[in-house]
């Protein structure tokens, strides 16, 4: 399914009534995993700025031991500090990569801003080398703009 076709589905999930924020986030993760064949793990991490750590939120995919990530460590931790998208075409080429699974070949992380503050990020792992394009970045920025409304 195209990113343009997914946008209204994402918005619909996030505006659904009688659903908790975590249920909505989990449903978005499930939609992305089901709809984009190279999105093999999709999840959210949320920042605790006092402890400078990221904490795993709703996700879809293989279980992970990485439930708490210090700022600066791994791709997610670097995004917590840089406030910028990070696309990793080949995780084996990254020095500061936290290996989740030998099946993960690439990763994209896009920060989640609420009123200008980075409160977390969407993290996507792929079993394919170099699948992520600028279109993925723009789409995930849209997803996070919609998700941000849940925190206002």
Q: Look up residue 55 and give its two tokens.
A: 């904490």
Q: What's this model's pTM, rounded to 2 decimal places?
A: 0.95
Q: Which CATH architecture has domain 3-151?
A: 2-Layer Sandwich (3.30)
Using CA atoms, how far apart are residues 30 and 146, in angstroms rounded to an integer? 16
pLDDT the model gives residue 92: 83
How crowded is residue 87: how many other Cβ atoms within 10 Å of its Cβ? 18
Low-confidence residues of the chain: pLDDT under 50: none
Using CA atoms, how far apart are residues 103 and 144, in angstroms rounded to an integer? 26
pLDDT the model gives residue 102: 74
Residue pointed to by tokens 């978005």:
28
Taking each helix axis from N to C end, the angle separating 3-14 and 21-35, rounded to the nearest 10 degrees, works out to 160
pLDDT the model gives residue 98: 66
């Amino acid at each position: 399914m195209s990113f343009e076709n997914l946008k209204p589905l994402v918005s619909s999930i996030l505006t659904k009534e009688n659903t908790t924020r975590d249920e909505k986030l989990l449903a978005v993760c499930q939609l992305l995993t089901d709809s984009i064949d190279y999105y093999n793990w999709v999840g959210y991490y949320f920042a605790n700025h006092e402890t400078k750590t990221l904490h795993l939120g709703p996700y879809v995919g293989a279980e992970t031991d990485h439930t708490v990530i210090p700022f600066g460590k791994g791709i997610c931790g670097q995004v917590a500090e840089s406030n910028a998208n990070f696309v990793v075409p080949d995780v084996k080429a990254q020095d500061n990569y936290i290996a989740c699974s030998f099946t993960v070949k690439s990763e994209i992380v896009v920060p989640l801003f609420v009123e200008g503050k980075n409160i977390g990020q969407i993290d996507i792992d792929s079993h394919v080398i170099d699948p992520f394009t600028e279109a993925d970045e723009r789409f995930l920025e849209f997803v996070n703009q919609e998700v941000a409304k849940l925190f206002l």
